[in-house]
Every structure is written in structure tokens, then in C-alpha cells.
Amino acid sequence: MKGKTNIEGYINKVFQKDIMGLLRELPDKSVDMVYGDPDYNVGIKYNNISYTKTFDEYIEWYIEMAEQSLRVLKDTGNMFLINYPKQNAYLRVKYLDKACYEVSDYVWLYNTNVGHSPKRFTTAHRSILHCRKTKDNHFYKDNVALPYKNPTDKRILGNIANGSKGRMPYDWFYFDLVKNVSKEKTFHSCQIPQNLSEMLIKSCTMPRDIVLILFGGSGSEIEVCNILNRQYISAEIDEKYHKMIMDRLKKGHIEEKYKLRLKSYELDNIEAQLFLLEKQKEYLSSNRTVK
Ligand SMILES: C[S@@+](CC[C@H](N)C(=O)[O-])C[C@H]1O[C@@H](n2cnc3c(N)ncnc32)[C@H](O)[C@@H]1O
């Protein structure tokens, strides 16, 4: 079903509803960027609610969500979908590769001290699919350029003289997970670090562009849009998270009541773990064969 409404009525609003309902209302080719960090279907509870489906049902839902999102995206737009590699691989092969001009699979790497298994390496990355609807997608290297690794190289000196602000980042990104003690942490169970969403948003939008944040969550990406002067549209199904987002936007900060309350033994635990990590680092560097 095609949306027939005017996009203006949706700008800078966060709806408390199912994203599929919102997507179906939005007009064709009306947003500059789609950013999706959905529930990954791995049993995580959001506010005590689990959205877990069978894998096949999940992929069916994920495909429908991507299909609607591409319809709403302008031809010059970009869509980024964050998920675990298997979910994104199925979505890509079953739908995106045929529907898009090009799909790139980026990797977000992080350190973790959970999820270890004795029979395989520990998962410490997520996949970020970057979907270009057409070859004419907007992409702003200067918004995200990193310092050149060899700035005295003749070719690089030429680039700098010609106004280049730096090199294009690689397609793997290292960003720390949002730690329980971090300033941006709320009681939401699964937040994306704001410096990661900031980079993605800046890479393909300019001030006043419209970003569709599919899943509001803690409001972290919506806050980034506000700070960067991007217009946003978003949906969050859960009432408590929705309230937190609205208060966060109104007040311009996360109120104490929404912060993760750690019990004193949990804080002690974190400190003990940090101490052990430091000790491990010292041990590893003193025993390294290749220095
Ligand atoms: C992975 S979290 C997003 C976290 C967000 N990236 C952040 O940094 O705060 C997914 C969110 O989607 C919400 N959600 C799950 N299913 C939904 C649906 N069908 N429509 C809208 N929101 C949904 C959950 O309540 C949860 O807050």
C-alpha cells in the first residue's frame, strides 16, 4: 500500500506505535536517510517485553520493513540497517541485493566481556548494511573524513592542497559499547553509541535533511539528529521508552530517573573487572614476543 500523506505533518515527531504502521502512512520518496537498529530477535527483552519470533518469521518481517523503508526513501537517499551478521545476511540475499543499486556490508567492532563460548570465537561485531537506492545517493566525505595516515606523501599533499579534508574512513568502525557507567546510558537495554550514529548520519545528510529513525529506543539517535540540526521522524512501540525519549528531547538531557541505577555491589564488580583488565594488559605487554 502506498502512503498518500504529506511528510510535513510527521517532521520532528516521535510516534508511540508500531513502525510498520507508521511506514505505511509515509509518502513515497520523502526522507533523505533511513536508520534502523531493530530488535535483533535474540531474546533480548525491552522493558520486559520480548519481540522474539521464529527466524523465518523475523526475516519475513525484516524484508517487509526494508521494502517499506526503501519506498519512503528518496532516490538520492541512503539506508543503514544495524543487526547481527546472520540476520543482515539473510535480508541482503533474500531481498536487498535485488532491490538496491548497491549494498555494502560494514562492520562495527567493539570490545566485550560477555557472550564467551568454549567452542567458538567470541562475537564482538555487528553488521551495518548500507543500501544505496540509486547510483545518485548523496554522500559527504568531508563530513566524516579522518586524518590521512601519511600526510607527507606527495599525492596526499596534492589532495590537501586541493582542499581535501582527509581520507574516507574504512568500512570497519571501532566504537566502544555504551557502558553502564557512561553519561549517555539510560535504563534501555540496548543502546547504540552516539559517536557511531553521529558518523553514519553525518556521512549522508546535511542540516535540515530528514532522517527516519525506525526504532526510537532510548532516543539516542534522535538526540543526535537534534544536535546536528537534522529533522527526524521516529516510532517507539514501548510506552516507557517513548516517554523517556519525549522527556529527553524536551529537557535536552537524560533525567536521573531514566539513568541506569547500579547497585553498590554492581559498581564494585565493575571496578574489580576494570582492575583485572588493567592487570591483564600489563601482563600481555610484558610477555609479548613481537613488540
Ligand atoms: C535495539 S532497540 C533500539 C535502541 C536505539 N538504537 C538506541 O540507541 O537507543 C529497538 C527498539 O525498538 C522497539 N521496538 C521493537 N519492535 C518495535 C516495532 N515493531 N515498532 C516500533 N518500535 C519497536 C523496542 O522497544 C526497542 O526500544
pLDDT of residue 269 exceeding 70:
no
pLDDT of residue 5 exceeding 90:
no
Confirm or reject: Cβ of 51 under 6 Å from ligand 1: yes
How many A from CA of 157 to the centre of ligand 1? Answer: 45
Mean residue pLDDT across the chain:
92
Residue located nearest, by CA, to atom 7 of ligand 1: 191
Confirm or reject: Cβ of 19 under 6 Å from ligand 1: yes
- In this prediction, residue 284 has a pLDDT band, given cuts at 50, 70 and 90, of confident
What is the pLDDT, as a whole number, of residue 47?
Answer: 79
How many A from CA of 64 to the centre of ligand 1? Answer: 16
How many A from CA of 178 to the centre of ligand 1? Answer: 16
Whether the model pTM is above 0.95: no
What is the pLDDT, as a whole number, of residue 1?
Answer: 45
* CATH class as words, domain 13-260: alpha beta
Of 26-35, 53-62, 145-154, 280-289, the least confident: 280-289
Tens digits of residue pLDDT in 196-244: 999 999 999 999 999 999 999 999 999 999 999 999 999 999 999 999 9
How far apart (Å, rounded) are the C-alpha atoms in residues 219 and 225? 10
Residue located nearest, by CA, to atom 2 of ligand 1: 217
Q: Where do the DSSP E strands lie in the chain? A: 13-15, 31-36, 45-46, 49-50, 73-83, 102-109, 125-132, 172-174, 210-213, 231-235
Closest Cα to residue 97, out of 76, 70, 116, 73? 70
Confirm or reject: Cβ of 220 under 6 Å from ligand 1: yes
Each domain of the chain, given as residue ranges in start order, spans 13-260, 267-291
pLDDT of residue 262 exceeding 70:
no
* Helical axes 220-227 vs 194-204, angle rounded to 10°: 50
Q: Specify the ligand 1 atom closest to the Cα of 178.
A: 8
DSSP assignment letter at 88: H
Residue located nearest, by CA, to atom 12 of ligand 1: 215
Closest Cα to residue 39, out of 222, 274, 241? 241
Amino acid at residue number 37: D
What is the pLDDT, as a whole number, of residue 189?
Answer: 86
Pocket test for ligand 1, best of 14, 39, 183, 232 (most atoms within 8 A of CB): 39
Confirm or reject: Cβ of 87 under 6 Å from ligand 1: no
Tens digits of residue pLDDT in 22-77: 999 999 999 999 999 999 998 888 878 888 899 999 999 999 999 999 999 999 99
Q: How many CB atoms lie within 10 A of CB 185?
A: 19
